[in-house]
Structure formats: C-alpha cells, structure tokens
Structure 1
Amino acid sequence: MFKLILPLLLVSSSAFAWGGRGHDAICRAAVFLVKEEGLKDYLRNKPQMMGHLCNIPDFYWKSLGGDAAKHGNPAHFIDIEVIGLKVADIPTDYKKIVTDYTGKENKFRNDGVTIKDIPTEFGSAWWRADQFVNRIGALNKEFAAAKPPANFKEEQDENLPFNKLAYQMAVDMGLMGHFVGDISQPFHTTADYDGWATGHGGIHAFFEDAVVSEFDGDLDWLVLKQARTIKNPSFLKPATVIEKMKALSVISNTEVPKLFKLDPVTKPSEVKKEHGMEIRTKAERKPASVAFKTMKPIIVNDMARGALLLANLWDEAYVKAGKPKIGAYKSYKYPFTVDFVMPDYYSIPAAEAKTEKK
C-alpha cells in the first residue's frame, strides 16, 4: 500500500505529461505532418532530434530547481477548476486572468482559501506555446539579413549568423512541442490531475507512463496514422495560437471523466487529514496491461491531435519567420541540453527574470 504524507498546502500539478515516450511520439509524428515544403525539407531527417527537444522541459528543466522550477513547472498545465470556469469560457488574455482572479476563492479547493498566484496555481500552458511561436517569428528580420551557407565549410560553421538562427529556430520548435503535447494529455487540463478528488489517486502516472509503456514499438506510427485520418479538426480553425490551444483543451478535458471510468480501480484512493497533514493512500488498481485494452484508442487519438496541432503551429511559426531556407543548415551541432527560457507573458521580478539556468 502506497501512502503520501503532505502538509496542507496548495499543491499544483507538476507531473510529467505523457512521460518521455509519449512526448517523443507526438513530436516525431508532427515532423511528418508539416505542410510548408521548406520546413518539411529540414525536418524530415530530424524526428529523433525533435523528440529529444520536446522532452527537455521535463527531463532537464525540471531538474534545475530554483527559478526555473518556480516559473517553469506551472507552465505545463491549465487547472481550470481553480478559477471556476469551463475551458471554453476562460479568457485568452493572461494578464486579465491574473488581475481578475488573484485574491479570489480557489473554486477547486472550495474551502475558503484564496488564489495567491495565478501562474503557479492555475498554470499557463497555452501562453507558453504561444511564447515559442512568437520567439521564432521574431527571427524574421535577422533571417532576411543572413545568407544561407554556400559550401560545406559554411554549413559546419556554428558562428555563421544563418546557422545560429536556424539552430535557435529548431530548438524553439522542439521546446514548443512539449507544451502542445501537455495540453493533448487530458489530465493536464484539470486541477484533479492525479485523481485524488475522485478516488483515483495515482492515475496520472498510471495513464501516461504505465499504460503508454504497454505499446509495442509502433507507437510513433500509430499516432501518425491516426493523425492522417483526422479531417478538418476544430482545434485548427481558431485564428490565434492561444485560441487553438484552448480549443484542443476543450476536447482533452472532456475525456477526463471517460478515463476515470476506464481506470481499473479495485480500491479507491483515500485522503485523510491529521494534525495539519494530508495522508494520501493511492488507489489500488489492476495492471496497466488491463487498462491498455480500453485506453489505447484514447491515447492514440489524444497524441494524434497533439501532433496535428504541433505541426500546424510549426508551420505558422515558420511562415512568421519568413520561410527561411533552413534546409541549407546541415551542421552536426546537437542540442543535448538547452538553457531555460523564462515565461514572458506575466510579470516576473527582475532578479528572477535575469536568472539563466544551463
């Protein structure tokens, strides 16, 4: 029997969405779903690199601690119940959300506790993805002024302005992919992200890691194949990145109750409060192999939608950057680790904003 003993503090979602294998599959599939020819030419032999980059925010950034954890970890989710609105009714202006809901009652806790910090308690995944699209678009003028490499020597020159821009663009695309993937995971669109409020405690890791691990070696192909069957998805129709992320969240969130029903629980989880502490006992459930039989189609569909939206946003960012001929960039430089990028859509104290983690 697994028990957790926690102080009675407000705890926000910090679990990994999809785990490494799921994020990798989404980003690898997205490589083959882009439509812009210039971008497709560059990405077609880099699915492994994009899959790696898409996992950096979990496996590297979360290990940095400090300000990277404080401002980075909450950017992986949207805990909608905290402010008491349905997904479709959430404003797309983040500063307005901060202004309107800071100090208001936390509707998920429903115990009189007020919201102290919107970025930490509510999350910001939609705006995080938008940040990386904008970072790529901001390279437009520099790309226009930079000459692509003209020979092998220039292709391998890491200091060539065009190569530096192409490298930054690829890195930002991969990082963006993580947050798009987050929102395709249903439990990253709810404050009950680990099922403790409904007797399903521990479902987050069970769903995204244990059950996903039941797939054979064809997960990437299944996601790509399913994505190609989805015609005119509603979440690609909105005009802005944030609205597209919101539209996908609406769909993902509707699957939370479905997954609770499919969770093979044999004994519900328990939460007891004693002496100012929470004692949590995880739900007991049948093996992941049992859940895999019914959850498999949902997982493939979720990841396929994430891959489609990611490819769409990669195309959009590429166009905003001026459609640079990044296929000319052929350096062997590989982004094993990437510097942490601070969120730029809410106010951060100057001392923290200047913190750079490597």
Structure 2
Amino acid sequence: MALLKSCVRSGRNVFSVILRREFHKTAPALVQVTVRDALTQAMDEELERDERVFLLGEEVAQYDGAYKVSRGLWKKYGDKRIIDTPITEMGFAGIAVGSAMAGLRPICEFMTFNFSMQAIDQIINSAAKTSYMSAGLQSVPIVFRGPNGHSAGVAAQHSQCFAAWYGHCPGLKVLSPWSAEDAKGLLKAAIRDDNPVVFLENELLYGVAFEVSEEAQSKDFVLPIGKAKVERQGTRITLVSHSRYVGHCLDAAAVLAKEGIECEVINLRSIRPLDMETIESSVAKTNHLVTVEGGWPQFGVGAEICARIMEGPAFNYLDAPVIRVTGVDIPMPYAKILEDNSVPQIKDIIFSVKKSLNI
C-alpha cells in the first residue's frame, strides 16, 4: 500500500517499479576481483579438491610467491603441498614432470616465463611428447605457469612473449588469460586436464580488478580449453587478441565507436588449441580482420591466424588484407620511451583498423 501511494504521488508506474525491484533482487551479484586473487582462488580450490595437486617453484611458499599469487597457500597446506625450490628451473621442472608421470598433478611456477628457457627440454621433450610416444598410455598432468610477455623497465632478457614459442609444439595446451574470470576458469581447467598445459599470465595484469559473475565465484566454475570469447559485438571489423592486449582492443573499439566504427573484439583465451571457428564466423560477418599481440611479428600468433584465414573458407569473405599489430622486431629496450614504442599501443590499433577500412 505504501508503494502504491508513493507511486501515485510521484506519477511513476507501480508495475515498472515492482519489476525493477524484482530484477535487482534476481540479478547476479558481481564482485571486483584482481587477476592475482583469481589465480590464488583457483589454486586454493584445486588444492583443496584434489590431494594430488601441489605447487612448486622459487619463493612460492614462505614468501607467498614473487608476485604474491600463492599468498596464504603455504600456511594453509604446508611444506608437502607448497614447495620452495632452488634457483634451478631445469631441476625443479624435471621433478615436476616426473611426479606427474607418477600420478601427481603438479603446478610448476616459473618466476617469469623467460626463465622457462632453462627448462624447455623438460617442457617439450619430457612433458609434451610423452603421451604420443607412449601411445597414450602415459599422461603428464602438469601446469607450467607464471608471468609472460613484457613487464615494465626489465629490458630484453625479461620481456618476451612465449605464446608462439609454446603454441608451436604439439603435445602442449597453451592458455593466455585476460580477465579475472579467464584466469580462474582456465587455471582450474588446466589443473584438471590430463595433458601438460602452459599457462601464460601477464605481470601487468596481476593487480587489475575485473567484475566477476556469480557463476565464476563458484568452486565448480571451469572454462573450456580451446574456446575463444567474443568480448564485444561489432559489425565493421574483427579484432583478435589475447592476454593484456584484449584490453587495448576494447579501449580502441570504444574510441572507434564514437566515429561510427563498430569493432567485434575476440579474446582468444586459448593459443593451442586455437578457436578458428569463432574467428571465421566473425570475419564472415565483418569482412575485415586485425590481429593484436605483444609478441614479435615473425611466426607469431597473428601470423598463424592470418595463414589459417588465407587457407580456409573465411578468405572468401575478406574485403581487405588481414593486418597484424605486434611488438617491434627487436630485443626489448630498457628506456621507457623506447619500450613504449616497442609494443602495441591503442593508437596503433586504431590506425590499423582505419587502414583496413580505407578510412
């Protein structure tokens, strides 16, 4: 009765007010979660769910991780499940691979994926090839994870993107999350997978907060490996990216929308397997494609997408050549102004979109 009187006095429609109130009651709750916390939650939930899961790496235990991704896990699970290792990537990666072959499910953290080059023999020759060489009799359920790509002010030896490196190798699954929801859902899927998974995080995203749906807050939330996500619908041109540069694409799309150019933005999530079906469907709709990545141009993720578009049915829908936006083909400089000019910026994406559309 009080609601009815209030609506009469204010001239509002009582039914619309009731509907709006009911919608807010039933609307899914969104919370802000950083990528770092999403990764921590994923590992915590999987450690709790399966006693075969354990984490090892440099400073992951007592120090809570170099980037605090394993914060609180050592205190909760102890030395047997959260293991500090010496600074010897080939050694502890080999231990992790052996334990996976023996029936455990290790998460092997590299302080940065640049250091994974020390352990690449274990990752490729031991983990990736074993299932094939054993005719499927021996699985290797292991996750290699850590920060990937360029950071800020760490120069050439700490600023490489390994998406193309590991995406090149059969026997591996390679994931590259952007949002907190990606990070949690994909890491849980990787830990549960019976194959070796390379999980490429981004250091500059760790502290970035994203809205996370009520569904993603569940302990049962898992994202499918090998499935991309359309982050923004559009009709004029398709932008395909992964990791941090999905955000750059969305920012560029927001700017271009003000000029009447509606971009469709695809978040790859998975580098291997690659979801070409989603990309091809988008290209069939927009007739234009720009790929965006932080890695080097030669033999990169964008190069692979371009080749598959040229070889497949989507080629017939293109109204202009595919354009790649990539990092510059040089080792990363240390100076900030040079570093900024060595990786894709929003202006570079906008320029490439207009070039593709001949605007």
TM-score where L is the length of structure 2: 0.23
Which structure has greater strand proportion? 2
The structure having more radius of gyration, on CA atoms, is 2
TM-score where L is the length of structure 1: 0.23
Higher relative CO (Cα under 8 Å, sequence separation at least 6) belongs to: 1
